[in-house]
Structure 1
Amino acid sequence: MKKIILGALASLFIMCSPIKTEVRDDFRSSSEQQKKVFLKEVNGTSDSKSVLILTKGYKGEKIMATQESKTVYSKYPITNLKTHLADYFSFENSKILIITDNFSKQEVVIEPKKATKYKFIYLRKDYEKDVATYKITFSNTLRAM
C-alpha cells in the first residue's frame, strides 16, 4: 500500500514539474552545410560537445550555465520574435550542465546520460500563471534558423 501511495505522489510531483522534456527530430532542418558551419562557429564539432539553443521566452534576464562550478555561459539573451532564437553555446556533454535563470530563481539540469545522445538541446521558456516553466527538447536535428 505504501508503494502505491508513494508512486502516486511521485507521479503527481513529476506532472507538476516546471520542466518538461521531449525528444524530437521531426521539425524542418537546416542543410548539412549550414549544420557544419554552425557547429564550427560554436566550437561544437567534437562528439564530446553538444549545443544548447535558447529559443522562446527569454526577455533579457541573466542566464548562467555552469559545469563543475565553472561558468560556461553568462549572458542576458533576448528572443528574436521572428526566428524564435535567443542564443546558443556548446558545452561538454559528458558533464552535468546546470542552467540558472536569475530572474525566476530556477535551475534546469541537463544530465550527461541524455546530452551524450543528442547534438542539439533546445531550451524553451514559457510562463503559466506568472510562473516560469521550461521545455527541453533533445534532438540530433538542427532546426532551420
Structure 2
Amino acid sequence: MKKLLILLPLALLFVMCKSKTTAKATPKDYIIYSDNFKGATDAQKNNFLKGLDATDENYSVLMLTKNFIGAEITVTTDGKQVYKGYPISDKKLGLAETIRISNTADTEVYDSYTKQKMVLEQKDTKKYKFIYMARSGAKQVPFKVMYSNKLRK
C-alpha cells in the first residue's frame, strides 16, 4: 500500500510533464499591412515619388530600413535585376536604400549574407505604394515587411 502511495504521485507527475513546444515563425508572421502611423504630407509624398519617377500606378517603392549591414542585396522583378548593392542602415534615419520596383509582377529580394530570399507578391505590391523592409535576424524568415500607402516622415 505504501508503494502505491509513492508510485501514484510519481506517475501523475510524469504524465503531467510535457516538453515545451515552440511555434515556428512563418513568412506570413513577419508581414504587416498598416497605415496607422503619422505620414508625410501629400506634397512631400508627391515630391518623393517624382524624385524616384514612381508616380505611375505601375510602380511601388521598396525601402530597405533596419539591420542592413553591407551584405549584397539583389532585387529582381520579372527576371530583371532592379537593384544590386551593399546597403548599410543609417541608424539616425532608419533607412538604407530606396528602390523603385514594378508592381506588375512578383519581386524577389535576395540576401547574400544569409543566403535567403523573400518574394513580394504582385497582389500586395499592386495595392500598396510603399513597402518597408527590414532584416529580421531570424533564420526561418529573413525579412520583416510592412506594406503601406503612407510615406513615413
RMSD: 1.7
What residue is the counterpart of 1:76 in the other structure?
86
1:70-109 per-position Cα deviation (integer Å, ceiling 9, x unaligned):
1001111100001110111111101110010011101010
What amino acid maps onto 1:112 in structure 2?
Q
**1:135 and 2:144 matched:** yes
1:42-74 per-position Cα deviation (integer Å, ceiling 9, x unaligned): 111000100001010101111000112210011
Gap change, CA 1:28 and 1:127, over 3 Å in 2: same
**d(CA) in 1 for partners of 2:113 and 2:27?**
15
Is the counterpart of residue 54 in structure 1 residue 64 in structure 2? yes
2:17 paired residue number: none
Which residue does the alignment assign to 1:102?
112
**Counterpart in 2 of 1:24?**
34
Aligned identity (percent) is 35
- Separation in 1, partners of 2:59, 2:25: 31
Deviation at 1:132, TM superposition (A): 6.5
8 Å Cα contact 1:104/1:132 also seen in 2? no
Which of 1 and 2 has greater Rg?
2
TM-score normalised per structure 1: 0.83
Richer in strand (by share) = 1
- Find 2:49's aligned residue among 16, 36, 39: 39
Number of equivalences: 130
